[in-house]
Amino acid sequence: MSPESPRRRCLAAIGLVLAAAFSAASAEPGPSSPPGIDSFYSGKIAALFAKDLEPPAADFDGSLRLLRIDAPANRLYVGLRQEMIVRASVEAVAAVLDDFADYPRMFDDLLRAVPTETGPGAFSLLQEQRVPVPFVKNLTFTLNYLVDDRGAAGKGYLYKLMESNRLKFDDGMIRLSRTREGECRFLEYDFALADWGVLGGVAPSKIWAASISGTIVSDLSVKLRAEHPDWDLARVRAEAKREASKYDLRRIVSETLPADAAF
C-alpha cells in the first residue's frame, strides 16, 4: 500500500532556511500527535486537528485567504492559516496531495519527496529543496504524518518535524472537508521556525513576504491541479504564479492574528 500524503511542505520557495533558537523546554506535546520534535505549538495543533473546526466566516467567498499568525516568542516563527474552496471533490484534492512523483515538477525548487510508510495511517516524508542563495546548502527535512481518512466526507493530515538540517520546528495540519455543493474546503494551519542566520536580524519583513508568497503559489498549484486535471504541470505552475501575483503581500504581512486567538 502506498503511503498517503499531504501537500509538500513549502512555506517559502527559498524557504525556511535558517532561526533564532527557541527553547524545547517550552514544548507542548499533544494527544495523538505524530512522533518528532515537539514545539510550543505541537499540542495546540494536535488538539485543533482532533476537534470539529470552525465554519467559514460569513464573508468567505471561497478564494484563497491567508492570515498571518503572530507567535510572540519569536518574530520569525512563521505561523499561517490558509483557507480556500477547491472546485473539485475531496478525492480529487487528496489525489493531488498524494501524488509525490509530480511534486518536483509542480513546486519550484523542490528536488525530491520520498515517502515511507510507518504504520496504519502514518508515514514520513523526506524532502529536499533547493535554496537559491549562493553557498547555502539545500534544505532537507523529514516530517512525520498521521492521516485521518473519512472517505468522501473528508480527509485530514497532521504533521510534525522529525529532523532537518535547517528547520528547528515545523507543526501543521490540513483538513479537506466536503461542502454541501460537493466541493472541497481546504483548511491548513502551519507553524515553522528555521535558522535564517544574519538575514533574520536585517530583513524580517522580506522573510515573511517570501514565506507567504511561496505558500500562495503552493496552495494555488494544488487548487488548479485538482480543478483542471487536463492541464499539464507547466501550465498549472504558470497559472498559479500569475494568480499569486495579484495578492497584496504587504497587507498580509502587516495584518496579524495573535497566536492565542488562533486556537
Sheet of strand 78-86: strand arrangement: 110-119, 122-129, 139-149, 154-164, 167-178, 184-194, 78-86, 65-70, 256-258
The crossing angle, in degrees rounded to 10, of helices 204-227 and 233-244 is 130
Residues 17, 197: Cα–Cα separation, whole Å: 9
Per-residue pLDDT of the chain (263 residues; tens, 9 = 90+): 444 444 545 433 333 333 333 333 334 444 489 999 999 999 999 999 999 888 899 999 999 999 999 887 788 899 999 999 999 999 999 999 999 889 999 998 899 999 999 999 999 999 999 876 665 688 999 999 999 999 989 999 999 999 999 899 999 999 999 999 999 999 999 999 988 664 445 467 787 888 899 999 999 999 999 999 999 999 999 999 999 999 999 999 898 888 878 88
Q: What is the pLDDT of residues 38-75, one digit of tens each?
A: 999 999 999 999 998 888 999 999 999 999 998 877 88
Global pTM? 0.85
* Centroid of chain to Cα 90: 17
**Rg for the chain, CA atoms, rounded:** 17
Helix (H) or strand (E) holding 233, with range, is: helix 233-244
- Sole residue written with cell 494544488: 222
Measured CA angle at 24 (ends 21, 29), to 5 deg = 140
Q: What domains appear along the chain, each with residue ranges and CATH number?
A: 24-262 (3.30.530.20)
Residues 38, 29: Cα–Cα separation, whole Å: 6
Measured CA angle at 222 (ends 221, 223), to 5 deg = 90
Q: What is the pLDDT of residues 104-121, one digit of tens each?
A: 999 988 999 999 999 999
